Amino acid sequence: MPRTYEEELKYIERINSHCWRIKKGFVPNMNVEGVFYVNNHLEKLMFEELETASKFGGIGGFLPGMKQIANVAALPGIVGKSVGLPDVHSGYGFAIGNMAAFDYNDPKAIVSPGGVGFDINCGVRLLRTNLTEKDVQPMKEQLAQSMFDHIPVGVGSKGVIPMNAKDLEEALEMGMDWSLREGYSWAEDKEHCEEYGRMLQADPTKVSQRAKKRGLPQLGTLGAGNHYAEIQVVDEIYDRFAAGKMGIDFKGQVCVMIHCGSRGLGHQVATDALVAMEKAMKRDQIQTNDRQLACALIQSPEGQDYLKGMCAAANYAWVNRSSMTFLARQAFARCFNSTPDDLDMHLIYDVSHNIAKVEEHIIDGRQKTLLVHRKGATRAFPPHHPLIPVDYQITGQPVLIGGTMGTCSYVLTGTEQGMQETFGSTCHGAGRALSRAKSRRNLNWYEVLDELKEKGIAIRVASPKLVQEEAPDSYKNVTDVVETCHAAGISKLCVKLRPVAVIKG
Amino acid sequence: MLARLFRIQNRTAIYDRAHKITASFLIGLTGVAFLAVCHQLYKAKTEYLPEIRRRGKERLEKTLAIRQTEAEIAEQEQNKNTKQHEDVEENGPSASNEDVEFDYPDVKYEYLDNTADIQIHAWGDSLEESFEQAVMGMFAYMTDIDRIENRDMKQIDIRAEGDLQNLLYKFLSEWLEVYGTEDYFVARKVEINLFDRKELRIIARGYGETFDLSRHAQGTEVKAITYSNMQIHEEAPTHDVYVIVDI
């Protein structure tokens, strides 16, 4: 049904300066409204996307983010609103930066692997150190090389942590507890991780042999794409009290940020689930507007199998990140001739931004169990929530927003308003503005690298072509995204971090 | 005392003395012989026996060593055989292609704009060729395909349920899985041997080699295949195929 751009606009209504509503009827069968948070700059990009799609009518083009938010709102069992966070952009099925919550006890409610993403438990973790920028600047190149040598990156890389099939099974079941047992992570790390590094509903038997085979050689590797490990320096502190609770005391303090996911295992689990659910959809007669929105009833065997397999893949990602934390600690210790303990390399927090969780939320005064899908959205629980660690009870859960290569990253904290409006979710990063093919054509990798060198950033990349695609210019401005979150009240700015060394695959 | 020994006969003094000398000589000889025997026993314990044992051990080890190498060779051969059998069972015949004449196909794919991921547009003179080019396009994104040599071959046999889109999805996913599970095997040339549209079955072979960090460039890893905006234009003379892959 090719509508004109003006007709589409009738369904979009502005609520306030940074929030828009998508009314029912934008796409057929919407059960609830959609809502998305943008500021002036970002809204132009969103509407441009919609305009391009209306012109081409869907042939050779793609569904714009707004349409995808609305398609998600048409899924059965959805509760509240289908929320688009400031970094929302078009993905497959669900938009990336889309949060949707489903009533767990509703027999018609569904679970969708598209709502979690292919990279299950893609997340960010932040380590602090007691080093200052002055300590690190003269050793920057050495440090970057040391980390690049310790952490395998890029296509075809194999993990260095010794593992066999039995270890993998245990790791899938126990998550970070396995890392702790093997000595790769510290006991305090577990405290400062979402779900304490282990999802209890994980069942390794629900992960196929293929997925395990894919995952075994890749444990402890960074991967490619937008994954990275960065050595960052605190640039600004907005909330001194909250930052103090996290161990960030002064400007110029050095931190390490690692962004990666569950590698081939997660991708395989998602692919297998999509195939199984396509069959289930026909059997249970679930209607969706988009073929990529494959889903199954939560209470059906396929739905439950997917949830258990997803939890196992999430555990794998936490083990992956703990292994890389271990390698990063070793790299630093080797460079500074000290121990990770002496360098105070504690974990500040570990968040995941591609996951589905069973959470309790209060809707209309009643407590309900919801299955919250966060695809490209990070959990941001407010102060005094029982699931966040004791250290952060007063300040709220830290939210780690990774910038892109060469741009700033942020640490935010969760707020009560975010809990009410978006079920405790906020943005995850910058979101892309330019397509990868356009970036490859318009940008040169040596120009990008020169620019980064001028900014004083040491960089080690496995693939030059990736440098073009991942150039900061091809992403939205993360500062815009984060400021929108702050203005909308769904999370509060806490710390700004600036990179001094980047390791990418 | 000696007289008591010869109490019965009373000899003359000479006989007496001769007997005494002989007797003491014999006793002396016995004593010396006894000492000699003791000495020999002592020597045997400290020298001869260990020597004998050492020589015996060496001989034993030598024979064992020969037996072990024979066993190892036999085992290796057995392993090779079972491995070959396993490979053949799991993935179909895998062989090096030293004698095969190779002609790499023209590039009939390109990459199109897509916000977060990459869209592969492949075409060809037939639908099979478009499918082959789509797989080659996917591998070309992961590494510099010109540096992949023809050292190995993997065969796949897949069936799909549903329609042609399901088939394309399964075909690409299967090659991605071969890459992920077979030690990062990258195919530079893909050839479809059987394309059954009714049963939605494809048997295909990929010629290439396993990824080697020292020789091959690292591109971008493909995470998964998506149905997003997947298009198969069979009616068009160029049989265009569009598929978006997640990076």
Q: What is the ipTM of this complex?
A: 0.83
Task: State the residue range of the domain holding A245.
Answer: 122-504
Q: What is the pLDDT of residues B138-171, one digit of tens each?
A: 999 888 888 888 889 999 999 988 888 889 999 9
Is the CB of A271 inside 8 Å of chain B's CB atoms?
yes
Position B88 scores a pLDDT of: 53
Give the pLDDT band (50/70/90) at residue B89: low
* CB nearest B223 (choices: A90, A118, A462): A118
Was A227 annotated as part of a binding site? Answer: yes
Are the beta carbons of A150 and A330 closer than 8 angstroms?
A: yes
Q: Is the dihedral of CA B149, B150, B153, B156 positive or negative?
A: positive
Within 119-158 of A, beta carbons closer than 8 Å to B belong to 119, 154-157
- CA nearest to A237, candidates A499, A495, A413, A412: A495
Determine, for residues B247 and A62 on separate chains, whether the beta-carbon distance falls below 8 Å.
no
Is the CB of A260 inside 8 Å of chain B's CB atoms?
no
Q: In angstroms, what separates the C-alpha of A451 from chain B's closest C-alpha?
A: 22
Q: Is residue A43 part of a domain?
A: no
Q: In angstroms, what separates the C-alpha of B54 from chain A's closest C-alpha?
A: 43
Q: In angstroms, what separates the C-alpha of A62 from chain B's closest C-alpha?
A: 6
Within 433-472 of A, beta carbons closer than 8 Å to B belong to 433, 435-438, 440, 462-463, 465-466, 469
Is A428 an annotated catalytic residue? yes
Q: Is residue A13 part of a domain?
A: no
Determine the residue among A94, A148, A155 to mutate to test chain B binding: the one whose Cβ has the most chain B Cβ atoms within 10 Å.
A155
Structure tokens at A96: 């990336």
Q: What is the pLDDT of residues B172-193, one digit of tens each?
A: 999 999 998 888 899 999 999 9
Position A58 scores a pLDDT of: 55
Q: Is B89 exposed, middle or buried (0-12, 13-18, 19+ CB in 10 A)?
A: exposed
Q: Is residue A253 part of a domain?
A: yes
Consecutive 10-residue runs of chain A (505 residues): their mean pLDDT? Answer: 78 90 90 90 84 68 81 92 89 87 92 91 93 90 89 85 90 93 92 91 91 89 85 93 92 93 90 89 86 88 94 94 93 91 92 93 91 93 92 93 85 92 89 61 73 84 72 74 91 92 86
Give the pLDDT band (50/70/90) at residue B227: confident
Element (H, E) at B202: strand B201-210
Within 77-116 of A, beta carbons closer than 8 Å to B belong to 89-93, 96
Q: In angstroms, what separates the C-alpha of A46 from chain B's closest C-alpha?
A: 12
Position A61 scores a pLDDT of: 47
What's the average model confidence in pLDDT over B86-114? 65
Chain A residue closest to B215 (CA)? Answer: A156
More confident residue, B54 or A372: A372
Q: Is A203 exposed, middle or buried (0-12, 13-18, 19+ CB in 10 A)?
A: middle
Would strands A458-461 and A491-504 be described as parallel, antiparallel, or unpaired?
A: parallel
Q: Is residue A67 part of a domain?
A: no
Measured CB to CB, residues of chain B less than 8 Å from chain A are 111-119, 142-143, 161-162, 166, 170, 173, 177, 180-181, 183-184, 211-213, 216-221, 223-229, 231, 242, 244, 246-247
Does B44 have pLDDT greater than 70? yes
Q: Is residue A104 part of a domain?
A: no
Chain B residue closest to A266 (CA)? Answer: B223
Position A474 scores a pLDDT of: 65
Give the pLDDT band (50/70/90) at residue B73: confident
Name chain B contacts of A156, Cβ cutoff 8 Å. 143, 184, 211-213, 216, 218
Are the beta carbons of B178 and B186 closer than 8 angstroms?
A: no
Structure tokens at A58: 């869907």
Position A2 scores a pLDDT of: 67
Position A243 scores a pLDDT of: 92
Position A9 scores a pLDDT of: 86
Chain A residue closest to B111 (CA)? Answer: A437
Q: In angstroms, what separates the C-alpha of A263 from chain B's closest C-alpha?
A: 8
Position A264 scores a pLDDT of: 87
The Cα–Cα gap between A407 and A401 comes to 11
* CB nearest A437 (choices: B118, B161, B242): B118
Position A287 scores a pLDDT of: 85
Count of CA atoms in the C-beta half-sphere (13 A) of A134: 2
What's the average model confidence in pLDDT over B87-116? 65
The Cα–Cα gap between A348 and A277 comes to 37
The CATH number of residue A440's host domain is 3.90.1860.10
Q: Is residue A126 part of a domain?
A: yes
If you search the block for the tokens 């890893």, which residue do you land on? B221
Q: Is residue A70 part of a domain?
A: no
Map residue A28 onto helix, strand or coil: coil
Q: Which of A376-390, A479-493, B33-47, B107-121 has the lowest mean pLDDT?
A: B107-121
Single-letter residue type at B4: R
Domain tally, chain A: 1
The Cα–Cα gap between B22 and B16 comes to 10
Position A184 scores a pLDDT of: 92
Q: Is residue A58 part of a domain?
A: no
Position A110 scores a pLDDT of: 92
Q: Which pTM value belongs to this model?
A: 0.82
